[in-house]
Each structure stands twice: as C-alpha cells, then as structure tokens.
Amino acid sequence: MQTEADSINPGVVAGQQKNGYIVDMVAPLADIHAWVYRLTHTATGARHIHISTSDPENTFGVAFKTVPEDSTGVAHILEHTVLCGSARFPVRDPFFSMIKRSLSTFMNAFTASDWTLYPFSTQNRKDFYNLMDVYLDAAFFPLMDDLSFKQEGHRLEVEGEGKSSHLVYKGVVYNEMKGAMSSPDQVMVRTLLRVLYPDTTYRYNSGGDPAVIPSLTHSQLKAFHARHYHPSNAYFYTYGNLPLSDHLDFIQDRVLSRFERIDPRTKVPRQPRWTSARTCSHTYPLDPCEDIAKKCQVSVGWLLSDIEDTFEMLVASVLEQILIGNAASPLRKALMDSGMGTALSDGTGFDGENRDTLFAVGLKDVTEKDAPAIEALVLDTLKTLAQTGIDPELVESAIHQIEFHRKEVTNTPYPYGIKILIAIVGSWLHGGDPGRILSLDADLERFRQCLGDGGFLESRIHRYFLDNPHRVRLTLVPDTQMAENERLRVEKELADQLSRLDTAAQDRIREDAAELKKRQESPEDINCLPTLTRTDIPETVTGLGILHKTVTPTLWSCDQPTSGIFYFSGVLGAGHISPDLLPLVPFFCYSASKVGSATHDYTQVARLIDRYTGGIGFMSTVHTRFDGKGACLPFVALSGKSLNRNVEPLFSILRELTTQVVFSDHARLRQLLLEYQTRLSSAVVHNGHRLAISLASRNFSPSARLQELWGGIHHLRAVKALSADTDDKSMARLADALRQIGSILFCRDNAKLALVGEAQALTHAAAQATGLFDALKSAGENGFSPPVLTVPETLPAEGWSTSTAVSFVAKAFPVVRLEHPDSPALAVIAKMLRSLYLHREIREKGGAYGGFALYNAEDGLFSFGSYRDPHIENTLKVYQGASDFICSGNYTESDVNEAILQVCSEMDKPDPPGTAARKAFFRQMIGLTDEMRLESRKKLLRLDKAAILAAAGRYFSPDTTQSAIAVISSQDQLEAANPSLRRLPGGRELDLRRI
C-alpha cells in the first residue's frame, strides 16, 4: 500500500462497534491501492462490504439471496416489479425516472440463479445519495400493486371482438424470456444447470420459463418479497472515495432501523453427489428454413468444489486457463483439431457463481452421433495430461493471466466498482470471505507451495474430472418444429382459458387492460423523486487536458498512473484496400494474432501472448472525420498490454505479428473461419437491435455502409458464403487475400502509434516502438483516406428472418453532425423520445424489453430501435408517432433539463487512465478536438424547450420518404406483419430476406 492507513476512514478497526454494526474485518488491497471493510449489522444481521479507494466513481449495491422453487421467474419478475414505485416514491417507474434525473455512470438490476442485485455508480456525491434513497425504498418498501405485476410479469388481454376475440399473453418479462429461450446459448446454459443440480434451486429457470411464467400469482410474488427482500437476507456494498460512516448512517436511517432479525430460510444446500455419470439430451428451436445438419451441441459438465473454498476456486481457475484458455491449451486444441465442430460449446468454462461450482466443455455445430466421441476425447485428453504431466510453461502463463487481471483496472463491461461486486457476490452470499477473493496472496502462496511438491495439478485433474462421478454429457439437438409446436400449445392453452371465461370475466380482463393503459398514458408528478439540476453539471468534458507528447510525427506518448501496466495502441490506415478485399478485413483482424507466423506456429504464438501480455488484438474500425468534408476513415486498430516488466516481450510479439504473419496453415485457417462464422451467428439474437439499426442505416453514408459490411448482417452473410466452401483451393485463395491485406496494412507510412503508461515504462517502450517502426517495410502508402466504396441510393425497407420468437425493429433517417448548431438539440431529443414516449409505448404498453432513440453525431443519423419486441406493425406505428410527439411540445422545461442530464451522464462516464488516454489518441486520429467537444457541451447546457421545438420542426415530420426500415424476426412473424404494413401512412411492405 502507498499509505499505512486508510486516510478516508481513519480509526476504523476490526472489532469496533460502529453505526449499529460490528466491524468484522479491515484489510489492505495492495494491487488496487484500496482497503476492504466487512461489517455485520447487529440488530438485523445485514452484511456490508465497503471498498475504500481514491476512485471518485462511487458505487452502491444491495444483493439478496433469491432461491426460486419453480420456473415461474418469480425472482426476475420481482426485480422488475419493485422498480415500479415505492412507499416514499409512489411513481409508476422511479427507476427509469431517475435515469433522467441523475448523472449516474451505471444503473441496472440483475437476476442470477440464486441472487438478485441492484447496483449503480456515479461521480456526484449528491447523486449518490439521491440514487441510494430511491434504490433502498424500491427494494425494501415497494408498492408491488397488481397492475405493475401484470405490466412487468404477465397478463391476459382480449383482442378482437365477437367470434374473432382471442386471448394473448403480454408482459415485459414474459417477452424477454421468450427471446432469451430462442437462443441456443441460453438453452444450453440453463439446461446444464437443470441436469447438474437436479435437487437444488439451480434446476429452475430463475429468469422464468415462458411456459411456466403465466402460472405465477401476484400473492406468490408478494410472499417471495417478504421473505427474500429483508435486511436479514441483505448484502450491502459500497465502493469509492466517500466515507463509510456516511453510508452506514444513511442505510440505518432509511431501512435497518425499521426491521428486526428473521430467519429468511435462504440457505442453498450442496447438491447431493452422484455415484455414476449421466447422459441426457435436450432440444432447442431452429428456424424450419435452416439446415439441421451439424447443428447440435455437446457439452461434458462436472460439479467441482464448494464456492466457499477460495483456494479450490483459484486452482479451478488456473486449470480452466491451462485447459481451454487459448488456442495452445491442450483440451481446447484437442477438441478443435478433431474437426467434429466449429467452436467450443456454449457454457464452456469454469463457473464459480453457484454454491457448487461447475466446469463444462464441449463442441458446437456437431452431429448427435458425435456425442460419445466428444466425451471420450475430453476424458482421454484429461487422462493423458494427468499421466504425462502439465507443461510448466502453461502453468506459469495461467498464473501470469491471473496476476495481470488482478492489477488491471478497467470499466468494461461495467464500472470497476461494480465489477468487483459481481466478482465477490456469489461467494459472499454463500458464506465465503470476499477479502480472500480480492486479495489472493495467501492462496497464491499456498498454490505455489503445492506446485513445488510435484504432481499437484495432475492430482486435481483426477479429483475434479477423472475420478468425479458427478458428470453429465448433455446433447443439445435442434428441433425445427419446436417454435411452431410451442405456438400451437400456447394458442390451445389460451383458447381453453377463453372457453372457461364467461362474459363478466372477459369484461374484467378488458377493464384491467384499459386501467393499465390509462395508467401508462396518464401524466404524473414525479417531483417526489430527488434530482440534480444543471448547476450540478460540470462545464468540462471528460478527457480535457489529457495531452500527448509527440515523440515523432507518428508516435505519441502519454504518462498516466496505470498501476504497473503498459498499454500500446496503433492504427493502420485501411483506405487503400481494394473493394474486393475490403469485406475480408474483419476476418483478417480476427485471424492475424491466431494463425501463426514465420517463426512460431499458432500454438506457440498463443503461448507467448498468454505468457507475457494481457492480450494482443486487431480490430477493424470505421469513423467519419470531424475535419474537412467529413470523409470516411477506415482503419485497423492494433492493441496490446502488459505488465511493465514485460514491455520488451510485448513489442517482440507485436513485431512478429506485423512483419511475419503467415496464412499458409490452411487447416488452421479453415478452423478459424468456421469458428468466426459460428461466433457471428450466435450473436444475432443477442445484438438484434444493433444489427437492425445497422441494416437500416447502411445506405446513408460511406461510413455507415462500411460499418454494415464490417460488422452487420451483410458481413455475416459474406462470412457464411466463405464458410460454405472450405476446400484447399478455397483456403488458398482466402490465404492469398489475407496476405495482400497484411501487405497493405503493415508498412511504416501507414502506421501511427501511442504508448500509455508510467514514466519509466514509457522510456523503455519508446525505444521498442521505434524498433517496431523500423521493422515495418518502407514500401507502401498512407491508407488514412476514404475507401473506394459504392453506396446505393435506395433506402431499405427490409425484413430479415432468423430463429427468434421476438422481433427487433429499426428505423433510421439522416439529420446533421456534431459540428452543426442543432446537434446538441438532437442528442436531447433522442433522450426525450426514449424516456417520455418510446418507453411508454414500446415497453410498458407493447411489452418489448426496450425501445430506443439514438442520435449518431459522428455520421449525422437518427434511429429508432426495439429489443425483444412482440410487435412489428405496432412498433413502426409508434416510430411514426414520434414525430407528432416531439413536435407537439407536450413536455416541460423540466423534461428538457432531465434529458440534458442524461446526455451529460453519457458523455461523462469516466475511464481508467489507460483507457482515457487511448480514447484521446483515437479522437486525434479522426480530428475530434477537445475544443469541439467543449463547444458542443456549452451549446447543450444553453438549450431550452423553444430550441428543442425548433430543432424538432426541422428534422421530424410524418414524411417517411427519407427513412429506412429494417426488421429482424422470424419468417412467420414477418410474413404475418407484411400485408398490414402497406396500410401505414407512407407504408410499404418489407422486402423479405434470410440471414
């Protein structure tokens, strides 16, 4: 530690009575320069963990052990419903309302298999306590009325009149889980839990099985809350630079003083262990138009140690890295080299979230008859390792990866304080010691001692795998009739219910629907909620003042406190890549660090990367320049990071990849191509809203066109076409194309580099970076220029079909870019449309998981999108109505202020020093100066309702001729929606295509 005591919380020691708590433990966390405190509330038994650090991004979270006894989704629906109004804040949606009234850097809620978590982060002290106030009241004193339950969970509605009347299921969680259970990865993971834990809570679908969700009653929901959301079952967490004492006083005053200790009966027992291995099979829905050949997944899974045993958790994590962590890992390599599948199965890896931890591994895109061979291959590979021993280099690489990620402070995918909470919550809730998880020194020392005795990890392979009978072989089999059979089942279920309803019962359902609609459409006074104002918004922009010292015209250096980690960033211009090669650039980026070099084969390269770095990668990127005429700027970003002591080996690997990469191993290239295609295909349903927006936006500019070609559905289709023919001749042609791309990218005149880290590391890295420049070939062109790219003038109106039970609906149209005076107003309009209009119409009334309005200031595009949406036609009607809403002026100055807060919150999300400097480097590449950003912010803070109305009138109108539409859904839903779309104002049928 840099200091001998915690200056933020002086005098707090273990054994002390403080604010109604006993301080159980105080310990330093040297790697992240922090202190950890563990406390227990005397009266209620509530637990509290506090991480004291200089980080101004303060975090709060409260977690509850939630142990479902069925698959109704009660924990998930409760997570949604408690956020629909509380005793002190009786508004229908305080959670989304606070997003508008806050500068939070993160707000959300999560439901896991056996816990529910409510976290947020913010940099503003006033905001921190505002949000904590609302979160605590929501969790412990929710209204949970029947209408909120029906809106968020499930409800029946009667549609049609007379003989054509019929019942339908609606509800946000119901539709969310319909979408989730359309995805093979969700089916695989949840089925693994069900079969490996047949006697505990994990056998149930905590998110909710759509077939079971409608059986949950409102009274069951309230009973679940009363037992599970009690301080005796609560785990509070705080992180940051605010004093612990203030947090404890606030929680005591708002919550704990009003409760007495109970027994929540939420202890999860260990799963009774089997005496012999098992096999099972399960189906997942596949679109009838898909070819079912080789569409199975096979996974072999084991239960391992208790989550409380931090040492065994560490050992299992090391073994995971050794066995499957990279392309050279023996179990991963054996599976991939078998040729039976294209990628590791969903759910592969060590899962330390549950009371009994698990490990699973297998292959996807296999045949059902491959299952015994895959299981045998897994067991034979493990047996060989146990007999012949594990390469010590693999062990050191695994330990290095653990050491690196302990040191690195990142905010991806969550703020760092929330990442720590998620890392400890599973063990903490089951009686584990979070301090041992956060400070691994004792366990690492014991681990190294065990290694010194010889044969330790080999013995653990026997214990965990070979001699462990609690093993299952799970085969996931596609069923092209499953979705249709489920539709027919639901249709019959609803018809049977309707037949049992008399006229009075039907009228009550209609009355409930009308009452819910009235509530959703009624304006409400949300002034009971705390809020920030414009005076709380700083008048600076994030990153202002981060200056890069120019070492050479193409090399920048930035001195930042990065906790002993060095970051390298490079950009390689892609503008001179020919049109026929341009679509291959993303696959080039995927394969360049994985295919091998003239000096080392791909397994040796993988070992070097894991042994000496925290990762090296290439990424294709498209931007629109902010200087000149706004030209399209495509480039490949090259990144790497290492501990300071490994700067030299990092650059050695970078030189090898940029000067010696070869694609001559056609077997490896084929493997990577199929793996890449599988990865893209698996992401469609998860990223459906983004992909639909990309489809709709693609013909408005060269940048939007290239973004679709490099990361959208058209890219996936191009990769599918390549994957359809992988014979040696095809691979030779692909290898030659990739070689040509590398030859264009890797030259001195086409590279700009940035070094980020602490002063001593930068001095060493500058010489290494100069050596990297010198190693690049001198012949070549500067590719920081627009590509040769044809952009069609037609605007799409398309429906793209895939295997999904829900839809993703997008609409896009051109507006203006950041430099234009109206840009800040468009950013505010996007937030207003989402919070004041789309949230109500698409989520609350329509039942979709989410509705979005997005303003892209770089490309000058405005778009709408929906996520896990049960509707197509109605959502497009909502998008058309957005123009009327925003031009009507039916909102207040307060609404404008709240939207400005949202825009600033998004702009001001903090980054760790390394990430902040790298972002500044990329802004330099595209000509986006801090002065431009600051000027835009000043205009933003001067906006009022009149300015919003004026801008709305210029860009929003019922005229849809300049807009484009794209929908991703199932073939049946697209065909059913299409005839009615022509009846919309300016409407047109969708051109139907297959993904």
Instruction: Name, in order, each residue with C-beta under 8 angstroms of 867's C-beta and a sequence gap of 6 or more.
Output: 688, 689, 808, 848, 849, 850, 851, 852
The owner of tokens 């006033």 is 126
- At 129, is the secondary structure helix, strand, or coil? helix
Instruction: Name, in order, each residue with C-beta under 8 angstroms of 834's C-beta and a sequence gap of 6 or more.
Output: 851, 852, 853
The closest of 63, 152, 75, 154 to 113, measured between CA atoms, is: 75
User: What sign does the dihedral 433-439-440-446 (CA atoms) show?
Assistant: negative
- How far is residue 542 from each of residues 101, 127, 191, 904, measured CA to CA in Å? 20, 18, 44, 10
Bridge partners, residue 121, by sequence = 59, 106
Q: What is the DSSP letter of 838?
A: I
The closest of 714, 710, 681, 670 to 695, measured between CA atoms, is: 714
Measured between alpha carbons, how far is 208 from 749 in angstroms, rounded to an integer? 56
User: What sign does the dihedral 988-992-993-994 (CA atoms) show?
Assistant: positive
- At 410, is the secondary structure helix, strand, or coil? coil
CB half-sphere exposure, 962, CA atoms < 13 A: 11
Instruction: Name, in order, each residue with C-beta under 8 angstroms of 722's C-beta and a sequence gap of 6 or more.
Output: 587, 673, 677, 730, 734
Measured between alpha carbons, how far is 310 from 437 in angstroms, rounded to an integer? 7
Task: Sort 907 into a burial class: Cβ within 10 Å, 0-12 / 13-18 / 19+.
Answer: middle
CA 821, chain centre distance (Å): 33
Please say whether the beta carbons of 326 and 86 come within 8 A: no
- At 684, is the secondary structure helix, strand, or coil? coil
CA 481, chain centre distance (Å): 30
CA 129, chain centre distance (Å): 27
Please say whether the beta carbons of 32 and 38 come within 8 A: no
The closest of 456, 93, 65 to 264, measured between CA atoms, is: 65
**Long-range residue pairs from 973-980, CB within 8 A, at least 24 positions apart, any chain:** 973/807, 973/872, 974/799, 974/801, 974/872, 977/799, 977/872, 977/873, 978/799, 980/873
Measured between alpha carbons, how far is 392 from 439 in angstroms, rounded to an integer? 24
**Long-range residue pairs from 247-252, CB within 8 A, at least 24 positions apart, any chain:** 247/50, 247/60, 247/132, 248/18, 248/19, 248/20, 248/21, 248/39, 248/48, 249/19, 250/129, 250/132, 250/133, 251/48, 251/132, 251/136, 252/19, 252/20, 252/41
The closest of 73, 92, 103, 57 to 898, measured between CA atoms, is: 103
**Catalytic residue positions, numbered:** 79
User: What sign does the dihedral 333-335-341-347 (CA atoms) show?
Assistant: negative
Residue 720: in which H helix or E strand, if any? helix 713-723
The closest of 312, 317, 310 to 432, measured between CA atoms, is: 310
Instruction: Name, in order, each residue with C-beta under 8 angstroms of 340's C-beta and a sequence gap of 6 or more.
Output: 363, 366, 367, 370, 373, 374
Query: Peptide bond preceding 231: is omega within 30 degrees of 0, i.e. cis?
Result: no
- At 341, is the secondary structure helix, strand, or coil? coil
Measured between alpha carbons, how far is 849 from 24 in angstroms, rounded to an integer? 41
Residue 78: in which H helix or E strand, if any? helix 74-81
**Given the DSSP bridges, would you call strands 850-856 and 861-867 parallel, antiparallel or unpaired?**
antiparallel
